[in-house]
Amino acid sequence: MFQSINPFTEEPFSEIPPLSHEEWEEKLNLANQVFSVWRARSLKERRALVQKLAELMDKEKDRLAALITREMGKPVRQSLSEIKKCIWLCEYAVEQAPSVLADRVELPYAPEKSYVTYQPLGVVLGIMPWNFPFWQVFRFALPTLLSGNTVLVKHAPNVMLCAIELEKLFLAADFPFGAYQNIPITVEQTGQLMASPYLKGVSLTGSVEAGRAVATLSGQHLKKSLLELGGSDPYLILDSADLELAAKECVLSRMNNGGQSCIAAKRFIVTEKNEEEFISLVKREMSTYKIGDPGLMETSLGPLARKDLRKRLHSQVSHLVDKGAKLLLGGRLPDRQGYFYPPTILKSTASSAVSSFEEELFGPVAFVIVVSNEEEAIETANASPYGLGAAVFSRDIAQAEKLAREKLQVGSCVVNQALHSHPALPFGGIKDSGYGRELSSWGFYEFVNVKTIQVS
């Protein structure tokens, strides 16, 4: 059974059984049958349905936000922001789809009467995480559907009510029955589904371990795949940094969604010159976060999503302390109801912080790593097997931009700000953070056949 447990009250409130083999196979067959109908719909018609979806979500945003908060513990004001971001993505996709998906006819050096057209592949599976239960689905499903594909979503087991609500929304927006389907299936069943010739692609947002398993199956069955995996994002605070700004943006990134974000700032790499003042400012910023009932608008830090996630996080913190990291704040399990973990700061030098590079800390834990100079900061940032995002803080904008562009081994890098995904910018990582890109025009092209046409 897939069980939903309120992370604040620790009380279970829903149980959903996985589909039988016959049930998920029926959904897959339906998605395959509907594909021929859906791809024949004009782009104008598809865009109209996405616009209607945005309007429905806008009307229901408070109710949808409350559901997210109840099921995974995100403070409700952040849940509301997640829904609004989904609406924003709908509006962006509706506006941009005609130009992005139009046939490309101006091809330098190409033969006359040749062009490129973008054709849908068929049924595409999305394996989605719990930390942004609406946003992650939307950034995968919207471009995939607008391109003419049909979609199956295997959502995380602890947010099954969000998964069910998502399917209801697409149906209420008049998407054809079967174009978007929720499929509550097990990991084993997912492997069986991926072997089907009806399935043409898979997009996973999840752990490195899950990514390796999906990549193996995708290769075995020759499916197009996209992987957005973990991160250990470095934020570099250089000698000339505006420390007030750096501390504010670093903590904002680290604490959003309770620190349960792939692109959260996870390693604060600061030069010796700024160590003392920067840490003091980070402590001050973290102290402003109000911990409590995530259903209240004034709460800024809620519980972690599950008990086992809190246990793992605390084990990681304890391990790092045992290995020599200094605990500067937090790091102790609170004696209260709910899966809360306190704002925590660890400190180490680059030479003794290796294990923090190799593991993703998924919670409100900042790891401050002190380096002697810019060169060591870059080396430390790139030492991680992950390569999702990064940030550089410096008053020398030209220096910071050059470092971001040429030195840091990540998919996205920002200067003097926290990293956020944006509908108009491609999002994804390198190394153990995965491959492929979501959002912007790149997101539309992941699950299409880029077909060359020549006429003589």
* CB burial of residue 221 (10 Å; 0-12, 13-18, 19+): middle
Beta-carbon neighbour count of residue 223 at 10 Å?
A: 21
So what's the pLDDT on residue 138? Answer: 98
Catalytic residue, chosen from 262, 285, 360, 374, is 262
Enumerate the domain spans of the chain: 2-229+433-454, 233-424
Catalytic residue, chosen from 71, 82, 165, 228, is 228
Hey, what CATH class is 233-424 in? alpha beta
Residues in the chain predicted with pLDDT less than 70, given as ranges, are 351-357
Torsion, Cα of 395, 399, 404, 406 (10° steps): 180
Concerning whether 228 is annotated as a catalytic residue, the answer is yes
So what's the pLDDT on residue 73? Answer: 98
d(C-alpha 383, C-alpha 394), whole Å = 21
So what's the pLDDT on residue 110? Answer: 86
Concerning whether 250 is annotated as a catalytic residue, the answer is no
So what's the pLDDT on residue 249? Answer: 98
Instruction: Give the CATH number of domain 2-229+433-454.
Output: 3.40.605.10
d(C-alpha 299, C-alpha 292), whole Å = 6
pLDDT digits (tens, 9 = 90+) for 198-218: 999 999 999 999 999 999 999
Query: What residues pair up with 371 in beta bridges, in sequence order?
Result: 271
Please name the amino acid found at residue 273. Answer: K
pTM of the model: 0.96
pLDDT digits (tens, 9 = 90+) for 241-293: 999 999 999 999 999 999 999 999 999 999 999 999 999 999 999 999 999 99
The DSSP-derived string for 322-364 is HTT-EEEE--S--SSSSS----EEEEEEGGG-HHHHHS---SS
So what's the pLDDT on residue 359? Answer: 77
Among residues 350, 348, 397, the alpha carbon closest in space to that of 377 is found at 350
